[in-house]
A and B are shown apart, each in its own frame.
Chain A
Amino acid sequence: MSLRSIVPVLLVSLVLSFESAFAQLPVADMSVEELLDVQVTSVSRKAQRLARAPAAVYVITQEELRRSGVTSIAEALRLVPGMHVGRLNGGAWAISARGGAARYANKMLVMVDGRSVYSTFYGGVFWEYLDLLMEDIDRIEVIRGPGGVMWGANAVNGVVNVITRSARQTVGNLISVTGGNQEHGVVAVRHGARFKSGAYRVWGKSSERTLFGGTDAVYRQDYSMASVQMSRTRVNPPDGSGFTMHGGFRVDWDRHERDQFSLSGDVYGGAWRNSMAAVQPFPPYGVLGTVEDRPAGGNVLGRWTRTAASGGETSAQVYFDRFQGQFPYSYDSTVFNLDLQQARPLNESNELMWSFNFRQSRAALRPAFGAQSARPVRSDPLFSGVLQHDLELTPNRWYLSLGARLEHNNFTGFEFQPSIRVLHTPSRKDSYWAAWSRAVRTPTMAEHNITYNGFAGVAQGLPVVYGATANEAFRSEKLYAHEGGYRHESKNWTASAALFYNRYTDVRSYLPSGFSVQYTPTPYVYGQTKVWNARNETIYGGEVWGAWSPLPKWKLMPSYSWLRRNAYELEGLNTLKRFLVSGEEPAHQVRFRSLLDLTSTWQLDTAFYYTSAFPMHKIAAHPRLDVRVSWRPTRKQEWSAGLFDATEGPALEGPPEGPALSGQMRRMWQLKWVYRF
């Protein structure tokens, strides 16, 4: 059981008394048909309870993962209502909830079994190295909205919690082979077995991916507004292709039935080619090049959980993580992290949870492409403590949750992140919730340390190059979030809705600090800017989603989300703003999925997505259709064929960020074979 993953449960433990999990389910009186429909793993029990949390929660189950045909965690997030997932190239994605989608989307925290994979050096997630064995993932819990109390800094716009199966649930051998025009070859193997008091598994996965469209159109789009002639060299091999190799293990065992232990780890490495534009102040202004990144990393995590008969739980978790990469800059990071947590019911209607976290991270950075770093090596300790009180105000009707986290980090000192959540359940089928929270996004190492140049366009016939200067006085960005939601659960349908109004203060801006005209090698304007907390902005919107089974063998899942960002301040710097504003998001997203069992062995799954335009980045609206057919002749094997993005030709899915360019998505097909023995 993951320390971070039990947190949402604690968050909803106020719901416990009327749910009381399994104990009150009249299992003994159910028919066999009903029994076969009961979620049995304790984790799914959590997933069930999560569905009643006072937050906008969506849980991707293993069944949904399998039926989506996706081969990576990043792609799986397309299943989440309101989440924007734009594939930029073979191994890079722009992913965010509630605004700010960019390659280095810095307001989404992502965890794997309680281990953070958010890079505090860049702010963002390297999705390409998050290449787990999909069949061993139990579920992905996604919370849209802040989770600062539970998960700490940078859980601002959302939290993604990937939870892998216990080794007890993966006993047996598995081979999975995927091939296609972009997923050239994804091969995964796993061996799992029991031993006296537990079970283990070892696994390996190798993935080779590419992006078909090349970068030609991107390049044109990216710089067209300045109407500058750029060299339009096609990159060959295409941008963003490469491979990763991943191997790992997990052991779960218990002692005296009340102490659960888990030890897991993985190592990975690979090679990725990334296209990027290096800026120069004379024609053709940008030089397109390919950089090869040979990343390597590994981590090991140990956890102990003690379950008390009273319902309380105590856990301790330690992990160590190392990562080395070369793109866009060469860096090497090590993280040691320790979490302690205890949840204790005080009485029938009160529960108290506290936790403590300590993290020591060290990073060594070697900038390239004209960028400079003031402090290339730094070591940062971080401490935080959480206290949360969950109360049942009136039995089975009103619940209140009060929580706060106090954190101390090396960049900004103390950070306070409180949250108040209220849940009202007038009936077993309906629930209403509302929440107010404050969350922070702490500065990245890049914002404090890296100074780089960008190309802004042409003014008065002269090219304008800007320099973005790091600033050690840059503070955290703050979010004050106001959210509310409603949920209805019926026998064969559910519907949910959430509204949010997010006010951000001290948002990152690059303020001009001076202009000069340079004469070498050719005349150009050099604009010096510096990173500051200079803006406020608001993003508000809503999401509705649901599921309906018109027939037992057919499930339909529609969703719609809408959001709006206030007008950007900095209008005077219009030409600069694309470089200065982090990310952009589509205003409307529509999804419609259908999961149909044709026969007991054949399944047909389709998904339609519509993403509206990104006006600032001039990316057009994009409809997308995915179709998948699967055949399971026996319990042991499954054959499936998928056609993704079946509707359109080349299309961009998201904006580029930093020196890396984004490429086009093309129609993608794949075949997959899974064999268990």
Chain B
Amino acid sequence: MLRTVVALTLVLLLVAWIAPVVGSAYVSGPEDEVMSALILGFVRYAEWPPGASPTDPSASIAVCANGRPSLVRALTRTFAGKSISGRQLVAREVKTAAEAALCQVLFVSSDNQRQLTELLGAVQQIPVLTIGDSEAIFAAGGIVQFFEEDGKMRFAVHLDALARSRVSVSARLLRLGQVVKGKLR
């Protein structure tokens, strides 16, 4: 028993010794990288109805995210040096409904249910491509769900929610995902 106690004490001291040595910043996971690249794919294959953007056609395309800072960082990296038909791509972290309404693409993490309902409610009537990372996104009226299957990223698109948003997504892209239909919130 005494030996056990001694060993444990040594171990705790060791932990205390290592802990400060280890670095700090955390690197975004591959999930974020793949999600960002998929979002870029969606932006490439999506069309927003004319007049939908609050500003002129040369304005940037705003891809916003809430509740997942690591995704915003990955998006920024993915968008670096890229533009689509002359429009700049901008990644932005959003917190409020007012900010969300200025986005073309809105990713909301389902970790915060209240925020999910609020942000998605705010963009329900305007053409914003809404994306979530759990099935809760559909319940809240969202359009695209990203999910993992067998370690690979998959997406599902709610066709009725997509139609309501007036954003159009190329059938070529839709074929690669799963399709969900059904009643809308």
Interface residues of A (CB under 8 A from B): 21-23, 25, 27-28, 30-33, 35-45, 47, 61-63, 66, 138, 169, 171-172, 194, 196, 256-258, 306-310, 312-314, 316, 336, 338, 340, 342, 344, 356, 358, 360, 381, 383, 635
Interface: B50 (CB within 8 A)? no
In B62-90, the 8 Å CB interface with A consists of 70, 77-78, 82
A-side contacts of B173, CB under 8 Å: 32
Q: Which of B8, B21, B37, B148 contacts A35 (CB 8 A)?
A: B37
Can you list 14 pairs linking A and B with CB atoms under 8 Å apart? A32-B41, A35-B34, A39-B152, A40-B153, A41-B148, A41-B151, A42-B29, A63-B150, A307-B27, A312-B22, A340-B14, A356-B11, A381-B4, A381-B7
B25 lies within 8 A of chain A by Cβ: yes
Known contacts A35-B38, A169-B148, then 4 further A-B pairs from the complex at CB < 8 Å, ordered by chain A residue: A36-B176, A171-B134, A314-B19, A340-B18
* Contacts known (A33-B176, A358-B7); A308 close to B156, Cβ less than 8 A: no
**Bound-state Cα–Cα, A25 to B78, Å:** 12
CB-nearest residue of chain B to A138 = B151
Whose C-beta in chain B lies nearest to the C-beta of A172?
B135
Question: Residue A257 contacts which of B26, B36, B78 (CB distance < 8 angstroms)?
Answer: B26
A258 and B24 within 8 A (CB): yes
Minimum distance in angstroms from A70 CB to a CB of chain B: 16
Q: Let me know if B152 and A37 touch, CB within 8 A.
A: yes
A172 — which chain B residues lie within 8 A by C-beta? 135
List the B side residues contacting A169 at CB < 8 Å.
148
Q: Which of B14, B18, B154 contacts A36 (CB 8 A)?
A: B154
User: Which residues from chain A contact B150 at a C-beta distance below 8 Å?
Assistant: 61-63, 66
Residue pair A44, B151 in contact (C-beta under 8 Å): yes
List residues 1-58 of chain B with CB under 8 A from any CB of chain A.
3-4, 7-8, 11, 14-15, 18-19, 21-27, 29-31, 33-34, 36-38, 40-41, 45
Tell whether B165 is near chain A: CB-to-CB under 8 Å. Answer: no
User: CA of A358 to CA of B15 in the docked complex: distance in angstroms?
Assistant: 14
Within 8 Å of chain A (Cβ to Cβ): is B104?
Answer: no
Q: Which residue of B lies closest to A306 (CB)?
A: B22
A313 partner residues in chain B, CB cutoff 8 A: 22
Tell me the minimal C-beta distance from B155 to chain A in angstroms: 8
B110 at the interface (CB under 8 A from A): yes
Are the C-beta atoms of B34 and A257 separated by less than 8 Å?
Answer: no
Provide the residues of chain B in CB contact with A256, threshold 8 Å: 26
Q: Which residues of B contact A31 (CB under 8 A)?
A: 41
Contact B15 A360 (CB under 8 A): no
Partner of A27, one of B14, B18, B37: B37
B interface bracket (residues with beta carbon within 8 Å of A): 35 or more
Q: Which of B14, B24, B111, B153 contacts A356 (CB 8 A)?
A: B14
A381 touches B3 (CB 8 A): yes
Q: Complex Cα distance A42/B34, Å?
A: 12
Closest to A66 in B: B150
What CA separation (Å) do A261 and B26 show in the bound complex? 14
Answer yes or no: B96 CB below 8 A from chain A CBs. no
Residues of the B chain whose Cβ atoms lie less than 8 Å from the Cβ of A356: 11, 14
CA of A45 to CA of B37, assembled, Å: 17
C-alpha gap A309/B148 in the complex (Å):
25
Chain A CB within 10 A, most for which of B11, B27, B40, B70: B27
Q: How far is the CA of A314 from the CA of B134 in the complex (A)?
A: 31
- Distance (Å) between the CB of A170 and the closest chain B CB? 10
Taking a contact as CB atoms under 8 Å apart, the answer to whether B34 and A38 are in contact is yes
Q: What residues of A have a CB within 8 angstroms of the CB of B8 in the complex?
A: 338, 358
Measured CB to CB, the closest approach of chain B to A14, in angstroms, equals 20
Question: Roughly how many angstroms separate A28 CA and B44 CA in the complex, as a whole number?
Answer: 12
B30 touches A22 (CB 8 A): yes
A37: chain B residues within 8 A (beta carbon):
152
**Residue in B37, B70, B112, B151 whose beta carbon sits within 8 Å of that of A28 in the complex:** B37
The answer, yes or no, to whether B125 is at the interface (CB within 8 Å) is no
In the complex, the answer to whether B31 meets A28 with C-beta atoms within 8 Å is no
CB-based nearest A residue for B30 = A22
Bound complex: CA of A510 vs CA of B40, how far in Å? 69
Q: Which residues of A contact B82 (CB under 8 A)?
A: 28
Q: A38-B153, A63-B150 are in contact. Are A309 and B23 (CB under 8 A)?
A: yes
State how many angstroms separate the Cβ of B152 from the closest Cβ of chain A.
6
Whether B18 contacts A360 by the Cβ 8 Å rule is: no
Contact B38 A196 (CB under 8 A): no
State the CA gap A356–B8 with chains docked (Å): 12
Listed from nearest, the 3 A-B pairs whose CB atoms lie closest are A308-B23, A309-B25, A257-B26
Inside 8 A of B23's CB, which chain A residues have their CB?
A: 258, 308-310, 312
A38→B30 contact, CB < 8 A:
yes
Contact check: which of B15, B30, B152, B156 meets A42 at CB < 8 Å? B30
The answer to whether B151 and A314 touch across the interface, beta carbons within 8 angstroms, is no
Q: Which residues of B contact A309 (CB under 8 A)?
A: 23-27
Q: Contact: A258 with B11, CB < 8 Å?
A: no
Please name all residues of chain B whose beta carbon is closer than 8 Å to the beta carbon of A41 when the two chains form the complex: 30-31, 148, 151
Query: Shortest CB–CB separation between residue A106 and chain B, in angstroms?
Result: 27
**CA A172 to CA B110, docked complex, whole Å:** 13
User: Is B37 a contact of A257 with CB atoms below 8 Å?
Assistant: no
Q: How far is the CA of A25 from the CA of B37 in the complex (A)?
A: 12
Distance of A47 Cα from B152 Cα, bound (Å): 13
